[in-house]
């Protein structure tokens, strides 16, 4: 088993140090050691509770059981169904149905994971138990929090939960995804779509730009007199040159990106007038997609694991909270240094955390991890690009290993872009099959 699917078709920087092959071999070696040795160790029993059954939490719960079946694992999940965000931008553009994003937890019982289907409403870190919405208490020796993100409703004046019904964020997949799609479908040809992208950090750094690309694709093919304006609180973003080259080629006159330095930062929204406000002027929208500031899921704050940034600082080897002993935080809710908030990362972190928790419960020292992330983005249905990196623990955080990072080539032929679009779809099938299948 692997910590992550090795990145493909990426460029190495050519800097001296470990080669990509060395790094990936190291990662694979760590993974196989982590997943075989503890299964045989004695005394590694205990009770683990995992809150949040997304990419991070479900993976972690299942892998702890596979590493040491003597450990009792309870997975707490609030939603009746999981709706995956990766590829949800394609749903917004009408290229895919929401059903293809939906998954359940029927298979986790096969690994001996006990499922508690209710929101976790509190954590007593002193007495070590989690409270559910029905007041039931579940005791733990180790708690893993994997609640993903919450929208920071205080982060953008005028943007409230009610406002998101008119100006959807669609940054948690589900009803919001369909709402944005329907608004685009209902818009007259000639309408103006205005999107806003937040400052770092936020869930899925390339996500807003993939979304901009696929909305532009929708407009080009279905409403060619329309236009998309992307207001950005940043001057730089993930895979920027690849995206911008593709936009020039595919969407000239349709997609306009306004960076921070040109007045892109949205400072408030006026929902009644469908207007996004910046220091440089107002933008009236036919359809507004506001991607607001975010923070760790609320249970992380209730557990005392989130700091003043709203995110959870963790030890990069065990993912144990730097604020609360015996509580680990993985996935989007955690501050992971250089490692981006992605489903790929969440899945990789979950496996490392599972191995670390099993070691700690067995009284052993966790190994130093190496983790891979790869993020694919669709610029059009048959045009994919990617970014990849390998990370290790250094100076109390996860740092990118020098020379490990790479993006798709800038001047690739269309066959390469088509192949990367297929890889994006293939990656989604593989990861969701591993997590929920």
Ligand X SMILES: Cc1cc2nc3c(=O)[nH]c(=O)nc-3n(C[C@H](O)[C@H](O)[C@H](O)COP(=O)(O)OP(=O)(O)OC[C@H]3O[C@@H](n4cnc5c(N)ncnc54)[C@H](O)[C@@H]3O)c2cc1C
Contact residues for ligand X, defined by CB under 6 A: 51-57, 76-79, 82, 85-86, 88-89, 119-120, 146-148, 171, 203-204, 207, 211, 297, 299, 331-332, 341-344, 346, 375-376
Based on CB atoms, which residue is closest to ligand X, 54 or 198? Answer: 54
Given the complex with ligand X, which of 76 and 317 has the nearer CB atom? 76
Query: Least distance in Å: CB of 131 to ligand X?
Result: 10
- Give the C-alpha separation, 336 to 251, whole Å: 34
Q: In angstroms, rounded to a whole number, what is the distance separating the alpha carbons of residues 243 and 257?
A: 11
CB of 22: closest distance to ligand X in angstroms? 24
Q: Which of 234, 266, 269 is nearest to 157 (CA)?
A: 269
Residue placing its CB nearer to ligand X in the complex, 31 or 120: 120
| Cα 132 to Cα 74, 193, 299, distances in angstroms | 12, 41, 11
Going by DSSP bridges, is the β-strand pair 281-284/137-139 parallel, antiparallel, or unpaired?
unpaired
State in angstroms the smallest separation of the CB of 66 from ligand X.
18
Is 372 within 8 Å of 7 (Cβ atoms)? yes
Residue nearer to ligand X on the CB measure, 233 or 343? 343
Report DSSP letters for 172-223, one per residue.
SSSHHHHHHHHHHHHSPTT-EEEEEEPPSS-S-TTHHHHHHHHHHHHHHHH-
Closest separation between CB of residue 427 and ligand X, Å? Answer: 8
Least Å distance, CB 402 to ligand X, is 23
Q: Where are the beta strands (DSSP E) in 3-113?
A: 46-51, 71-76, 82-83, 102-103
Residue nearest to ligand X (CB): 54
- Which residue, 269 or 348, has its beta carbon nearer to ligand X? 348
Whose Cβ is closer to ligand X: residue 108's or residue 277's?
108
3 touches 371 (CB < 8 A):
yes
Rounded to a whole number of angstroms, the minimum distance from the CB of residue 153 to ligand X is 16
| The token pair that represents 314 in the structure block | 């963790």
**Chain centroid to CA 411: how far?**
28
First to last CA, the chain: 15
- Report long-range pairs for 131-136 (Cβ below 8 Å, ≥24 apart): 132/76
Q: Which is nearer to ligand X, 147 or 366 (CB)?
A: 147
Burial of 107 (0-12, 13-18, 19+ CB in 10 A): middle
Least gap, CB of 93 to ligand X (angstroms)? 11
For the chain, helix, strand, coil in percent to 5 are 35, 25, 40
Residue nearer to ligand X on the CB measure, 277 or 351: 351
Q: 3-class SS at 163?
A: helix
Residue 32, classed as helix, strand or coil, is helix
Least distance (Å) between residue 254 CB and ligand X: 20
CA distances from 337 to 69, 123, 201, 204, 334 (A): 32, 25, 10, 14, 9
CB nearer to ligand X: give 23 or 197.
Answer: 197
- The CB-of-11 to ligand X minimum distance in angstroms stands at 20
């Amino acid at each position: 088993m692997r910590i992550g699917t090795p990145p493909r078709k990426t460029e190495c920087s050519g800097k001296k140090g470990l080669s990509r092959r060395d790094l990936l071999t190291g990662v694979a070696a760590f993974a196989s050691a982590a997943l075989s040795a503890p299964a045989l160790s004695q005394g590694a029993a205990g009770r683990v509770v995992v809150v949040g059954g997304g990419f991070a939490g479900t993976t972690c719960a299942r892998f702890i059981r596979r590493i040491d079946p003597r450990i009792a694992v309870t997975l707490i999940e609030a939603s009746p169904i999981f709706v995956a965000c990766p590829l949800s931008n394609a749903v917004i553009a009408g290229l895919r149905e929401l059903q293809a994003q939906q998954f359940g937890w029927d298979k986790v019982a096969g690994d001996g994971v006990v499922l508690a289907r209710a929101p976790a409403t509190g954590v007593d870190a002193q007495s070590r138990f989690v409270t559910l919405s029905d007041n039931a208490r579940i005791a733990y020796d180790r708690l893993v929090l994997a609640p993903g993100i919450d929208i920071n409703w205080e982060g953008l004046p005028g943007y409230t939960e009610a406002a998101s019904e008119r100006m959807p964020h669609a940054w948690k997949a589900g009803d919001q995804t369909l709402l944005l799609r329907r608004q685009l479908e209902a818009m007259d040809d000639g309408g103006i779509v205005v999107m806003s992208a937040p400052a770092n950090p936020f869930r899925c750094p390339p996500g807003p730009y993939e979304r901009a690309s696929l909305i532009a694709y929708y407009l080009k093919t279905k409403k060619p007199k329309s236009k998309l304006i992307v207001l950005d609180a940043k001057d730089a973003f993930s895979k920027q040159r690849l995206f911008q080259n593709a936009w020039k080629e595919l969407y000239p006159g349709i997609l306009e990106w306004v960076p921070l330095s040109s007045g892109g930062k949205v400072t408030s929204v006026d929902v009644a007038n469908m207007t996004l406000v910046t220091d440089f002027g107002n933008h009236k929208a036919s359809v507004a997609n506001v991607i607001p500031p975010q923070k760790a899921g609320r249970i992380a704050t209730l557990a005392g694991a989130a700091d003043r940034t709203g995110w959870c600082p963790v030890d990069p080897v065990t993912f144990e909270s730097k604020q609360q002993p015996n509580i680990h935080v993985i996935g989007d809710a955690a501050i992971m240094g250089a490692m981006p908030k992605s489903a790929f990362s969440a899945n990789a972190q979950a496996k490392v955390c599972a191995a670390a928790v099993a070691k700690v419960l067995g009284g052993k020292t966790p190994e130093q991890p190496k983790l891979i992330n790869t993020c694919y983005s669709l610029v059009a249905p048959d045009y994919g690009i990617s970014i990849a990196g390998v990370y290790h623990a250094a100076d109390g955080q996860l740092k990118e290993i020098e020379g490990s990072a790479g993006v798709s080539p800038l001047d690739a032929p269309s066959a390469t872009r088509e192949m990367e679009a297929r890889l994006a779809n293939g990656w989604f099938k593989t990861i969701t099959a591993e997590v929920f299948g």
